[in-house]
Amino acid sequence: MATNLGGLTATGTVRVHRLVRGFGSRAVLDGFDLEIGSGEFVALLGRSGSGKSTLLRALAGLDSDADGSGMIDVPEKSSVVFQDARLLPWQRVLDNVVLGLRRSNAHERGLAALAEVGLAGRENAWPNELSGGEQQRVALARALVSEPELLLADEPFGALDALTRLRMHDLLRELYARHRPTVLLVTHDVDEAVTLADRVLLLDSGRIAVDLTIDLPAQRSHRQPQFLAYRETLLRALGVNHSEG
Amino acid sequence: MTATVLARLQGTTTPSVRKPGRRLKPGRPIPLGAAIGPFLLLSVWAAGSAAGWIDPRTLSAPWTVVTTAGDLIADGRLQDNLAISAQRAGLGLVIGTVIGTVLAVVAGLSRWGEALLDGPIQIKRAIPSLALLPLLVLWFGIGEQMKVITITLGVFVPVYIHTHNGLRSIDSRYVELGESLRLPRAVFLRRIVLPGALPGFLLGMRFAVVNAWLALVVVEQINSTSGIGYMMQLAREYGQTDVIIVGLVLYGLLGLLSDGAVRLAQRRALSWRRTLAD
């Protein structure tokens, strides 16, 4: 198992050294190294089976069933956003948001987090009364209410329709600008990666094939030539040669 | 209802009206629907007695039963026997529910708990509680203790089985969520495990309530000197059909009321669920 040396490094920094993770005899990650600076927004791209979810689960400490070794150093305070909103259907929205909070002012903080994701006034709704996008916003509020130093997101917008996904992109950038956690976003969508992240890692067969720093203003659009260039690079690295959307 | 609407629409010849899709849900609930069947049964009984088809020695007329119930209430026998019966059933139900739930949680959350508990309980489940009665009488005599223990034994098994099953079928994604939020075990239990197992628990309660009344009937007919069952035993010796029927109606009402109470609790507690019946 990996040793967690939390606390030895600056808050928010993620350090992975010689990480090995596999299931049975198949090694998904084999001697994997990664360093993410505090407050960096990193997108992790890759085809299915490239090991991106394995890496995220290792960082989240959710892989007790996997075999492996190596060193993982992540901030003490980290949150996970899953692909499904994963709200407890038997708890009202606010109770879902404050589920992990152990403080006296949990109620107020929960309400504030809901207001931040644009769901003020919905605190007493049941999760299944909300739309898919709204449920994922509640999941974001639940992840951010504990003021994490690291936010791990596993294809959080993968199950949403295109329009809702664009709105969620804006919301995530906005929340990131305000709270400045370190973010590791796993996605298979190149546009999403270039739109959101400041650094894009492309994972291929368990190693980093491309490490690209995105040097674009906060307001990004498909019309920027530099945006298209980044997109082209990543698509080519993924083995897609034509450039239509 | 849908059919008549459809017929009217077709009658006005609007070919563009699309046929409503086939409804797979059972449709709107009928008001007081649950009362229709029993009411019909009661009418047949009343009509049969009035017309003289039913010998009063076989089955007393409904009005005789009502008068007898009135007499029994007037001299206090009904209340006294009812109170003692309800106390036995209630005590057995509470103890059995607590035992069943605790065992289910222990067996559901730890492999050792399951290894130790599940086998014996499955064996107990295969033996009808009432078959244990001779042994229980030998061990605990014929007093209240034996009665409550018999009822408890009938109650805890369904509570255990269904709560354990409900607990085991909690989605593992919620367990993962609890891990990612680093929930302490007590919070995990209170916010995820118990609410997740609640539908199973409540289903178990419905079986448990039925079992409690069933066990009550049997234990009250063994050397009892109080309770509804005793009242009915006595009536059998004097050939009082009407008193026996008063007892049966009481048992029925108690069963119905307690099942209704559990169902009400079910609706309240599971209001977050959307199901076929809603």
Question: Which residue of chain A has the CA closest to B270?
Answer: A90
**Residue A135 placed within a domain:** yes
**Residue A3 placed within a domain:** no
**Residue A95 placed within a domain:** yes
Instruction: Note whether A111 and A86 are within 8 A (CB).
Output: no
Question: Which residue of chain A has the CA closest to B172?
Answer: A86
**Residue A226 placed within a domain:** no
**Residue A89 placed within a domain:** yes
Instruction: Note whether A92 and A125 are within 8 A (CB).
Output: yes
Enclosing domain of residue A121: 78-147
Q: Alpha helix (H) ranges present in B51-171? A: 62-74, 77-109, 111-126, 133-140, 144-168
pLDDT digits (tens, 9 = 90+) for A157-202: 988 888 888 899 999 998 999 989 999 999 989 999 999 999 999 9
Structural domain count of chain A: 1
pLDDT per residue rounded down to tens, chain B (278 residues): 444 454 454 545 555 666 667 778 788 888 888 889 889 999 999 999 999 898 888 888 889 999 999 999 999 888 899 999 999 999 999 999 999 999 999 999 888 999 999 999 999 889 887 888 899 999 998 889 999 999 999 999 999 999 999 999 999 899 999 999 999 999 999 999 999 999 999 999 999 998 999 899 889 888 788 898 899 988 988 988 999 999 998 888 888 899 899 999 888 888 877 655 54
Q: Is A48 on the interface with B (CB under 8 A)?
A: no
**Residue A86 placed within a domain:** yes
CB contact under 8 A, A100 and B179: no
Cα A159-A165-A168 angle, rounded to 5 deg? 115
**Residue A32 placed within a domain:** no
Domain ranges across chain B: 61-269
Q: Is A6 on the interface with B (CB under 8 A)?
A: no
**Residue A125 placed within a domain:** yes
Contacts of A156 in chain B (CB under 8 A): none
The third-level CATH classification (topology) of the domain covering B61-269 is: MetI-like fold (1.10.3720)
Please, what's the b/e burial string for B1-30 (b: 16 or more CB within 10 A of its CB; e: otherwise)?
eeeeeeeeeeeeeeeeeeeeeeeeeeeeee
Closest CA to A81 of A175, A14, A1: A175
